Amino acid sequence: MYGALWRILPGPWWVRVLILLVLAAAAVAALILWVFPWVDQFVAPQEVTVGG
């Protein structure tokens, strides 16, 4: 899969690396901004207390 992705990207290797870094940053941003908050509403918070 990674080999196929590497072959379809245009340009020399440094342009491919830059494109992959931008795509990875966009994926992380999408997860943080939209996916994790949406999933959070379905996860029940657990009440944990630390006794002393």
Backbone angles phi, psi at 9, to 5 degrees: -75, 140
Which token pair is 52?
A: 């002393």
- Scanning the chain, the segments in alpha helix (DSSP H) are 2-8, 13-30, 36-40
Q: Note the pTM of the prediction, 2 decimals.
A: 0.72
Helix (H, G, I), strand (E, B) or coil at 21: helix
pLDDT digits (tens, 9 = 90+) for 7-33: 999 999 999 999 999 999 999 999 999
* Average pLDDT rounded to a whole number, residues 38-46: 85
Which of 16 and 41 is assigned the larger pLDDT?
16
- Residue 50 belongs to a domain: no
45 lies in a domain? no
Measured CA to CA in angstroms, residue 18 lies from 3, 11, 41, 46 at distances of 16, 10, 35, 41
Strand, coil or helix: 46: coil
pLDDT at 52 exceeding the cut of 70: no
Q: Residue 6's domain spans which residues?
A: 2-40
In a domain, 27, yes or no: yes
